[in-house]
Amino acid sequence: MNRKSLNYIFCAFALLCFSCEDIVPEEELIYFNDFDNGDYPGISGVKISNFDGDVVMGNFNNSGFQLSLDDLPDHEYIRVSFDLYIHDSWDGNTNETNPLGEDHDAWLLEFDPNENLKSSEKIYFETTFSNGLCIPGFCYSQSYPREFPFPNNSKLEAFSTSLPGLCAWKDSPNGTSLYKFDKVFLHKRNSTTISFYDRLVQPNSDNPLCDESWSLDNLSISVFKKR
């Protein structure tokens, strides 16, 4: 969601206000990291590699990293955006070992995973990606850009599908898909820890990291301050 779209959403709820300018919160960038300079403030689980000529966080398989942020200004919303690289043979909503979808290649973003929060306070986004090679009449479905288990077409809203695979499909010019993740969440706490991780299902793989993984770049966090 871009800034303009978010402004329209706020304005739609401001039926009794005289001007949109009075009610649209001010966006403030509080964190950015492109991982190029070797500095990773607030991040635990750092893993750095190179992909397609750039430095990225990853690659990860059944793991991930966390970003901790303190002393946030008063705010009502938090915006999380980054480049997400889906490498090699993700199977999306359906895994070959379980066609009903109970086992799926999940990717997750979760706020404060180690805190005992009420269900109404939890911020949790689980989705899936299908990066498999399609054949006529069949592709594994994925949930992105919506949450699992919503079924969407394979590689829906991918920014690019013309990147080489990282390992198992390194010789394929379409082995990695790039997504421009950009979502806004209700959030008011003055500190938070954001966890980025996956739950990949690969019962028949001798080298899971080579078979399926992900990387992340250009991580940006901003808040919408109260006026």
List, for residues 107-122, the tens digit of each pLDDT value: 999 999 988 888 878 8
Q: Is residue 65 part of a domain?
A: yes
Instruction: Give the separation between CA 54 and CA 69, rounded to whole angstroms.
Output: 25
User: Among residues of the chain, what percentage have pLDDT more than 70?
Assistant: 84
> Which residues pair with residue 49 across a beta bridge?
56
Residue ranges making up the domain that contains 188: 27-225
Asked, for residue 18, whether it belongs to a domain, the answer is no
Q: Which of 50, 56, 112, 104 is nearest to 84 (CA)?
A: 56
Q: Which residues are within 8 A (CB) of 160 and not within 5 positions of it... i.e. 6 or more apart?
A: 177, 178
Token pair in block for residue 35: 């991982």
Residue 77 forms part of a structural domain: yes
Residue 11 lies in a domain: no
Residue with tokens 């901003």: 222
Q: Does residue 18 have a pLDDT over 80?
A: no
Render pLDDT for 154-203 as a digit per residue (tens, 0 to 9): 999 999 999 999 999 999 999 999 999 999 999 999 999 999 999 998 88
Q: How many domains does the chain have?
A: 1
- CATH number for the domain spanning 49: value is 2.60.120
Which helix (H) or strand (E) segment holds residue 31: the answer is strand 26-33
Residue 29 confidence class, pLDDT cut points 50, 70, 90: very high
- Give pLDDT, residue 227: 72
